[in-house]
Chains A and B, each alone.
Chain A
Amino acid sequence: MTEKIFATPGAALEGLLFDGMTIMSGGFGLSGNPESLIPEIRQAGVSGLTVISNNAGADGFGLWMLLESRQIRKMISSYVGENKLFEQQYLSGELELELNPQGTLAERIRAGGAGIPAFYTKTGVGTVVAEGKPVETFDGEAYVRETWLRADLSIVKAWRADPAGNLVFRKTARNFNPNMATAGKVTVAEVEEIVPAGTLDPDGIHTPGIYVDRVVRSTINEKRIEKRTTRAREGAAV
C-alpha cells in the first residue's frame, strides 16, 4: 500500500502548492478547520489563491492567516461576517468574493466529487444568485442551474484516521470536510489521532480512504469557540 501517513503538516503539503491554485478548506465557523495545514500554506508563501470555504476564519485563526498575508485572491463562501480583515480587503477591491447559498456551496462540492458537472436547485431562484444562470421548469416549478466545484487541493480536518486514509469525524466538526475530501485532485487530511488498521469499524467510516491521499497528525488543535453558551446546573448555588 502507498504510504499515506506523513510526519509533519509541512511534509504532508510538500510538492502540492503553487501560485494561482484552488484550495478547498473544511470547517464551519471555527469548528472543524485544518488548523495545522493552513499555517504551512502561509509559510510556503504561494499567492493568487482561490479558496473555497464556508467562512474565512477569525482574527488570528484559520483562513484569516492567509488573508493577512495577502495570499488569497478570491474566496467562494456562504458567510463572511464577523471578519474585519475580510471586510477591509473586500471593500478595497483586493479580494474577490463569490457568495453562494450554503446548500448550493455544499452541493456544488458534492457534485464536483461525484463527477456531476451541473444540477438544478430551487435555492436562489428569483434572487441575484440566479442572475445569468439558466432557469428551467420541472413539474411546474422553476429551478436554477448550478455547476460543480473542484479544487487542486482539499485540506480537511478529521478526528481519527487509519493507515488506509479512512476518516471519522467528530460531532459538528464534520460539516464540509467529508464533501471537500471528495472534490480535491489531492486531499490532505489532518487528524487528531492516527489509529492502527482494524481499529475503526468499517461500518462507521465517514470518508472512505479512496478520497484521502495524505494523512498527518494535527499539531495545532486550538479549537477556538466563537460563542460560548452554557446553562446553570439545576439547584446550583449562584
Chain B
Amino acid sequence: MAWTRDEMAARAARELKDGFYVNLGIGIPTLVANHIPVGMQVTLQSENGMLGIGPFPYDDEVDPDLINAGKQTISELSTSSYFSSADSFAMIRGGHIDLTILGAMEIAANGDIANWTVPGKMVKGMGGAMDLVAGVKRVVVVMEHVSKQGDPKILGRCTLPLTGAGVVDLVITDLGVLAVDREREVLTLLELAPGTSVEEVCDRTGARIVLAEVG
C-alpha cells in the first residue's frame, strides 16, 4: 500500500527539528502540524503575518481577525507574535525560516518547482510560494507521485511555468522519499512506501533515479 495523505504528512514531519521555524503550505503540508513530535518545539509561521500558529479555535473563540495564509480560522499561543506583510516576507526572504513544506504540480531533477499556474486555465496567482522557495533554507515538497491522469510529476525538466529554479531539496510522495541533487541533476531514492517497488517508482518518474547506498 502506498502512503495515504496523512502518512505522507507524518513522513514530512520527520524533517522537523527542535527549535525550527517552519512555514507549511496549503493541503497535505498543513497536516504536518498534526504530527509534530511531543516535546519538540517547532514554531509555525503564517505569511499573512503571524509567528506561532495555534490549533483551530473552539467554536466560541473563532475570530475573523485571526486566520492563517489558507484563510482558515486559527488560534494564538502564549508566545505568538503578529507583524505586517513586509515584515513577514523579510523573515522569509531574509533566510530566517528553517524549512518550508509545500505541494507541487511538477518538480524536476534540477530542483525546479512548478506549483502556481497552468497556462490556458485561470491564473490564480503565486501568492507567497515564489518567496518561500527562494528564501527559506530548506524546501521539502509533498505531493502525489503522479497526476490524476497517471502522468509523472517528477520530471527531467518542468513543463509548467516555474515557481522557483533549482530550489527543491527533498520530495515526499505516496510512493517514497527522494533527495534532489541539484548540481548533478539526480534524484536519489531514500525510502520506499510499503508495498511499492523500485521498479514502480522508476516507471512512474520522468527523471533518472539512483538508489541510496544502504549503509
Main secondary structure of the interface of B (DSSP, over half): loop
| Distance A232 CA – B150 CA, assembled complex (angstroms) | 38
A185 located at the interface, meaning its Cβ lies under 8 Å from any Cβ of chain B in the complex: no
Whole-angstrom distance between the alpha carbons of A122 and B132 in the complex?
10
Q: Using Cβ atoms and an 8 Å threshold, which residues of chain A touch B125?
A: 77-81, 99
In the complex, the chain B residue whose C-beta lies closest to that of A228 is B73
Chain A residues, CB < 8 A from B64: 30-31, 173, 223-225
Report whether B46 and A172 are in contact in the complex, using a CB–CB cutoff of 8 Å. Answer: yes
- Cβ contact within 8 Å between A179 and B57: no
Chain B min CB distance to A89 (Å): 12
A108 to chain B, nearest CB (A): 9
Name A107's contact: one of B57, B73, B86 (CB within 8 Å). B86
Pick the most buried of A103, A107, A176: most chain B CB atoms within 10 A of its CB. A103
Question: CA of A80 to CA of B82 in the docked complex: distance in angstroms?
Answer: 24
Using Cβ atoms and an 8 Å threshold, which residues of chain A touch B124? 79-82
A171 to B162, CA, bound (A): 33
At the interface, yes or no: B215 with Cβ under 8 Å from chain A? no
Does A91 lie within 8 Å of B65, measured CB to CB? no
Please, how many angstroms separate the alpha-carbon atoms of A201 and B73 in the complex? 28
Closest to A56 in B: B125
Tell whether, in the assembled complex, residue B73 and residue A106 are in contact, meaning their CB atoms are under 8 Å apart: no
- Which of A80, A122, A175, A227 touches B72 (beta carbons < 8 Å)? A227
Contact B46 A102 (CB under 8 A): no
Q: Is A47 an interface residue (CB 8 A)?
A: no
**Contact of B7 with A by CB under 8 A:** no
Closest Cβ of chain B to A127, distance in Å, is 5
In the complex, chain A residues whose CB is within 8 Å of the CB of B88: 103, 106
B137 at the interface (CB under 8 A from A): no
In the complex, whether B156 has a CB less than 8 A from a CB of chain A is no
Determine whether A104 belongs to the interface, using a CB cutoff of 8 Å to chain B. yes
Tell me the minimal C-beta distance from B25 to chain A in angstroms.
13
Contact A129 B65 (CB under 8 A): no
CA distance in complex: A127, B167 (Å): 12
B113 to chain A, nearest CB (A): 10
Q: Is A200 an interface residue (CB 8 A)?
A: no
Residue among B70, B93, B112 making CB contact with A123, cutoff 8 Å:
B93
B72 CB contacts on chain A under 8 angstroms = 227-229
Cβ-defined contact, B134 with A175, below 8 A: no
Distance between A208 CB and nearest chain B CB, rounded to angstroms: 13
* CB contact list, B87-119 vs A, under 8 A: 88-90, 92-93, 112
CA distance in complex: A32, B59 (Å): 21
Is there an interface contact between B85 and A179, defined as CB atoms closer than 8 Å? Answer: yes
B194 contacts the other chain (CB 8 A): no
| Candidates A125, A173, A233; contact of B134 at CB < 8 Å | A125
Residue interface mask A152-173, B partner, CB < 8 A = 1: 0000000100000000011111
Say yes or no: B48 contacts A175, CB within 8 Å.
yes
Q: Are the CB atoms of B73 and A110 closer together than 8 Å?
A: no
- By the criterion CB–CB under 8 Å, are B73 and A230 in contact? yes
What are 10 sample pairs from A and B whose C-beta atoms fall under 8 A apart? A28-B67, A31-B71, A106-B89, A126-B162, A170-B65, A174-B49, A178-B84, A225-B62, A225-B67, A231-B58
Q: Give me the 8 closest cross-chain CB pairs, A-B, nearest first.
A: A126-B165, A103-B89, A103-B131, A81-B124, A223-B64, A101-B130, A79-B125, A106-B85
Q: Which residues of B contact A (CB under 8 A)?
A: 46-50, 55-59, 62-74, 76, 82-86, 88-90, 92-93, 112, 122-131, 134-135, 161-166
